[in-house]
Structure 1
Amino acid sequence: MGRKRKWMVILPWIGMMGISSAEYAFASAEETLHIAHSWSSLHIFWMLGVWVFFQAAVAFPAGKLRESGRLPARWAMMLGALGTLIGYVSLAFAPHVVVAYIGFGAFSGMGAGLVYATCVNMVAKWYPERKGGKTGFVNGGFAYGSVPFVFLFTGYMDLTNFRWVLVAVGVFLAGVVAVSGYFFKDPPKNWWPADVDPLHVPDDPRTRRALKMNPPAVRQYTPREAWRTGRVALMWFCLMCTSGVNIFGIAFQVEIGQEAGFAGGIVATAMSLKAIVNGTGRGVIGWLSDRYGRKRCLIFVCIVLGLSQYGILWSANEQSLLFFLIFSSISGFGGGAIFPMFAAMTADYFGENNNASNYGLVYSSKLVSGLAGSGMGAVVVANWGHGGAFTLAGSISLFAAFVALFLTQPGRTKTGEPTAPVPMAQGSD
C-alpha cells in the first residue's frame, strides 16, 4: 500500500462513522419528520426497519462481488457514499412516504450495507492474527459516530430548518465515506504478516494468547462449505435475536423515556450514552475476546443485553433517571458488542479468503431482525405496551445466550486439535 497497515483500521473506522447516524440517530428525528411530513410514527419506525433490511440484504452479494474482484473496495465505498446522500435528501424532500421508503429505506440502506461489509472485512483481512480488538474498534464507529447527530436532530432541528439540516448532514457524511474509501486497498489472498506464522507458536505474547484462545480456521471455507458445517445457521439465529433486541432498543428507548416523564434533553443524553458505550464497547469486547475467547465473550454480552432490557423497563416504571441512564448505557454495550464478536468469529471459523461472503451470510439475519426489532416492535408495543415489549426483548436475548453455548469451531476436536491435517498457508508475506 505504501503505508502502514494501521491505516486499514483508521480509514474503515472513519467510514463506519459516516453511516452510523442513519440507524442510531434516526429515532431522534422521528418527531420532526412526523409533524413536517404528516407521516405516521408507525411508518417512520417501519422505515428504519426497511433501512436495516436493505443494509443486511446487500452484505452477501456485496461480499461475493468483492471477493471476485468485480467490485473493488474503493468503488464499494463510493456507492455507499451516494446511497448515504440519497437517503438524507429523500427524508428532506420526499413528496410522499413511499419515496422516503425507497430513498432512505432502500438506497441509503444498501449504501450503508456496502460500507459496513467493506470496512469490517477490510480490517479482518489486514489483521488475521489479532482481529478481535481491531474489528471491534472499527465496528464501534458504527455507533458513536452518531452522537453529534442525536443532539442535532433532538435539540436543533425543527420545522423551520429540517430540510437544510438533513441535506447538509447528507452531504457531509457522504463526503466522509467517499474520502476515507478512496484509499482502501485489499491485501493479497492468504496474506499474513511476515513475522507471524499461523502454523507455529508466535514469539509475541499478545499474538500467542490471541491465537491460543481463538485458533485460526483449519482451512478456507467457501460459503457453501461453511453453511454445511451447521455453524452458520447457529450464528445466524443468535445474531437475529440479539440484533433485533438492539434495534428495538434504538427505536423505542426515546419513546419509553418520554413516557416516563424524562425531559427531551435527558432522553437525548441517554441515547447518546447508549451510542457512545455501544461503540466503545465493541472495541473493548473485541480486545477481551482476543484474551479470553470469542465464544465466552459472546455469551456474556447476550446475557448483558437481555438483563439490561429488564433494567430499562424497571427504571422507567420507577421514573429513576439515574438508573435509566445506567441501564441505557449497559444496553448499548451489549447491543454493540455482539457485532464484532460475530465478525471476528466468522473469520476464526471459516478463514479470511471468503470472509466477506461468509460474514454476509451471518449478517443477513438482520433482514429479519431489522423488521422485527423496529416494525414488529411497534406492533408489540401497541398491543402489549412497553412492559410486555421490553420483557420479551430481554427474554429473547437470554435465549440467544443459551443457543451460543453450542457454537464450536468446525474441523477441530474439543481439545482444539485439527481433526485433519491443516493445509499449508500461502503468501505469508
Structure 2
Amino acid sequence: MTTTDFTTSVPYREVPDRNGRLYRIGETDRDIMGRPRWTMVLFPWMGMLGISSSEYAFTSAEDTLHEAHLWNSGHIFWLMGVWIFFQAAVAFPAGQLRESGKLPARYAMMLGALGTLLGYLSLAFAPHVIVAYIGFGMFSGIGAGLVYATCVNMVGKWYPERKGGKTGMVNGGFAYGSVPFVFLFTSYMDLSNYETVLVFVGVTCCTVVAVAGWFFKDPPKNWWPAHVDPLKVSDDPRIVRALAKNPPAVKQYTPREAARTPVLWMMWFCLLCTAGINIFGIAMQVPFGKEMGFAGGIVATAMSLKAIVNGTGRGVIGWISDRYGRRNTLVIVCIVLGCSQFGVFFSGNMGSMPFFLICSMVSGFGGGAIFPLFAAMTADYFGENNNASNYGMVYSSKLISGLVGSGVGAVVVSAWGYGGAFALAGSIGLGSAVLALFLRAPGRPSAKRVVPNPHPIGEEMA
C-alpha cells in the first residue's frame, strides 16, 4: 500500500457559524489523501500499539533486570517515572512544532520509532544504570511522547464531528498492545535470554511504529467532512446526538488563549490526579500481588487483564461520552477509579484471587478511560486546529503524575504500607470526581444564564 499526495486543487469554501468559527467544507478524505479517513484511525492505532509495552509491560521485567544488571527495585520504579516524565514533557513542544509545519506527522513517527528502539537496546546492554536512564528513560520517553501526541491528535482532526469513540479506540492501543509483552517478560524472559528478548521487542515495536507513521497525513486547517453540514442538523442520529452532548468549541483557541482560561488548568489538575492513580496501579500492582502471596502467573494475568480492560475501556468510554457527554462520563470514571483502589487493596489483603482480578480490571478501566476523555474534551472546548498544543498543555500534568505515581508511590508504600497508599489513591480519585463537576467549555453561556427574549418574534406590539 502506498500513499499519494494530491496537489490538484479541489473546490472548497469556508463558512462561519454564529460564533464566527470557520469550517472548511467541500473536500472529501479521498480528495486530500487518496484513501478513506478510517485509515487514519487504523494507522494511529498501530502506532500506539508500538509504544505501549514501554509503560504497561516494563514493570513485569523488574525481576530479570534486577538480577541481570544488579539494579535495585527503586531504580526500576524511577526508570518508569523518568520515562513518563519525558513522554509527557515532549507533548506541548511537539504540538507546537507539528502545528507550525516544522515537524510533519510522518517525521514525528519516525523519530518515535527510533527512540523506542534505543530504549530497549539500552535496557539490554546498559553497562551502568545511568545509560538506562538516558536510553530508556529519556530517548524512549521522548519517542513515545512524539508518537502519542501525533496519534491521538491526528484522529480528532479527521473525525471532528464524532471524535469520542475514534479517539478512544486509538488511545486504547496504548494499553492492550502491551499484553503479549507482559507474558513474555514475566513467563519467558530470564538471565539466559534477556538481551535477545529485549532486542526482539525493540525491533518489533520500532517497525510497527515506523510502518504506521509512513501513512500519516494531516487534513487542512478547519477541515470538516464534506457529507456533514456543520450549519445544519445532520440526518445521522449518531452525529446529532454527539454534537448535542458535546458541541464544537465556540472558536479555535490558540495555546495562549486557552492558557488564559481557568478550565484548562482545572483539566490539568484533574488529569494530574487521575493519571497519578493510574500509574500508581501499573507500578505497584505486580509487587503488591506478589507480597500478598499470589503466584507469578496470577499476577501476570491480573496485569494483562488490567491492560486489556484499560485499552478496551478507552474505546468504550469514547463511545459512551459521545452519547452522554464528556464531562458527565468523566465524573463517573473518576468515581470508579477511586473506589477500585480500595477494592484492589482489600481483595489482596483477603487473599481472594477472583476479587483481586475483578478489582484490577475495574481499576484498569477507570485508569485508561481518563485519557481519551481529556483528549476529546480538549478539542471540544478549544477546537481542533491547535489541539496538539492545547492537549499538550493538559497532558503535561503527566510530568508530575508519572513521578508521583511511580517513584513517590514507592516511597509512600515504604512509609505507610500498601493500605495507606491505596487509601490515599482512592481518596484522590473521589476528589477528582468533585472537581470534574465544575468543568465547562469556555465562551459558551450556561443554560441557566440565558435570558429569554422579552419580545419574542410574532408578538404584537401596541
- What TM-score comes out, normalization by structure 2 length? 0.90
User: Deviations along 1:219-273, whole A, 9 cap, x unmatched?
Assistant: 0000111111111100000000000000000000011111111100000000000
- 2:124 alignment partner in structure 1: 92
Match of 1:193 among 225, 244, 247: 225
User: Deviations along 1:168-187, whole A, 9 cap, x unmatched?
Assistant: 10001000000000000000
- 2:137 alignment partner in structure 1: 105
Find the aligned partners of 1:203 and 1:300 in 2 and give their Cα distance. 30
- 1:424 alignment partner in structure 2: none
Question: Letter of the aligned partner of 1:135 in structure 2?
Answer: T
Find the aligned partners of 2:40 and 2:241 in 1 and give their Cα distance. 23
User: Deviations along 1:349-405, whole A, 9 cap, x unmatched?
Assistant: 000000000000000000000000000001001111111111111111111111111
Find the aligned partners of 1:296 and 1:86 in 2 and give their Cα distance. 41
Question: Letter of the aligned partner of 2:125 in structure 1?
Answer: F
- 2:205 alignment partner in structure 1: 173
State the Cα RMSD in Å: 1.1
- 2:56 alignment partner in structure 1: 24
1:127 aligns with 2:174: no
The answer to whether the 8 Å contact 1:218/1:418 transfers is: no
The answer to whether the 8 Å contact 1:411/1:418 transfers is: no
Q: Which runs of 4+ in 1 moved over 6 A?
A: 416-419
The answer to whether the 8 Å contact 1:83/1:107 transfers is: yes
Q: How does 1:399-410 map to 2 (within 5 A)?
A: 399-410=431-442
- 2:374 alignment partner in structure 1: 342
- 2:360 alignment partner in structure 1: 328
Find the aligned partners of 1:167 and 1:416 in 2 and give their Cα distance. 59
Find the aligned partners of 2:66 and 2:449 in 1 and give their Cα distance. 57
User: Deviations along 1:66-86, whole A, 9 cap, x unmatched?
Assistant: 000000000000000000000
1:415 aligns with 2:454: no
Match of 1:375 among 396, 402, 407: 407
Find the aligned partners of 1:202 and 1:315 in 2 and give their Cα distance. 48
- 2:146 alignment partner in structure 1: 114
Find the aligned partners of 1:236 and 1:191 in 2 and give their Cα distance. 27
- 2:93 alignment partner in structure 1: 61
- 1:366 alignment partner in structure 2: 398
Q: How does 1:67-86 map to 2 (within 5 A)?
A: 67-86=99-118
Distance 1:73 1:259, change over 3 A: same
The answer to whether the 8 Å contact 1:412/1:418 transfers is: no
The answer to whether the 8 Å contact 1:350/1:358 transfers is: yes
Find the aligned partners of 1:353 and 1:285 in 2 and give their Cα distance. 24
1:356 aligns with 2:421: no
1:288 aligns with 2:320: yes
SS at match of 2:447: coil
SS at match of 1:245: helix
Find the aligned partners of 2:195 and 2:232 in 1 and give their Cα distance. 58
- 2:340 alignment partner in structure 1: 308
* Structure 1 unmatched runs, 5+: 420-429
- 2:457 alignment partner in structure 1: none
The answer to whether the 8 Å contact 1:198/1:216 transfers is: no
CA shift for structure 1 position 416: 9.3
SS at match of 1:9: helix
Q: Which structure has the higher relative contact order (CA within 8 Å, separation 6+)?
A: 1
Deviates more, 1:150-159 or 1:398-407: 398-407
* Structure 2 unmatched runs, 5+: 1-32, 452-462
Match of 2:196 among 164, 170, 194: 164
- 2:5 alignment partner in structure 1: none
Match of 2:42 among 10, 33, 44: 10
Find the aligned partners of 1:333 and 1:49 in 2 and give their Cα distance. 21
Match of 1:389 among 417, 421, 424: 421
User: Deviations along 1:275-329, whole A, 9 cap, x unmatched?
Assistant: 0000000000000000000001111111101100000000000000000000000
CA shift for structure 1 position 418: 9.8
Question: Letter of the aligned partner of 2:240 in structure 1?
Answer: R
- 1:184 alignment partner in structure 2: 216
The answer to whether the 8 Å contact 1:262/1:321 transfers is: yes
1:270 aligns with 2:296: no
Compare CA radii of gyration and give the structure with the larger one.
2
Match of 1:252 among 239, 262, 284: 284
Find the aligned partners of 2:448 and 2:237 in 1 and give their Cα distance. 19
Question: Letter of the aligned partner of 1:38 in structure 2?
Answer: L
What count of residue pairs does the alignment treat as equivalent?
A: 419
- What TM-score comes out, normalization by structure 1 length? 0.97
Find the aligned partners of 1:302 and 1:27 in 2 and give their Cα distance. 25
Question: Letter of the aligned partner of 1:341 in structure 2?
Answer: L
Counting aligned pairs with the same residue, the percent is 75
Distance 1:130 1:417, change over 3 A: farther
CA shift for structure 1 position 200: 2.4
Question: Letter of the aligned partner of 2:82 in structure 1?
Answer: V
Find the aligned partners of 2:129 and 2:424 in 1 and give their Cα distance. 30
Find the aligned partners of 2:190 and 2:417 in 1 and give their Cα distance. 28
1:212 aligns with 2:212: no
Find the aligned partners of 1:300 and 1:329 in 2 and give their Cα distance. 16
Find the aligned partners of 2:406 and 2:314 in 1 and give their Cα distance. 22
Match of 1:225 among 257, 260, 267: 257
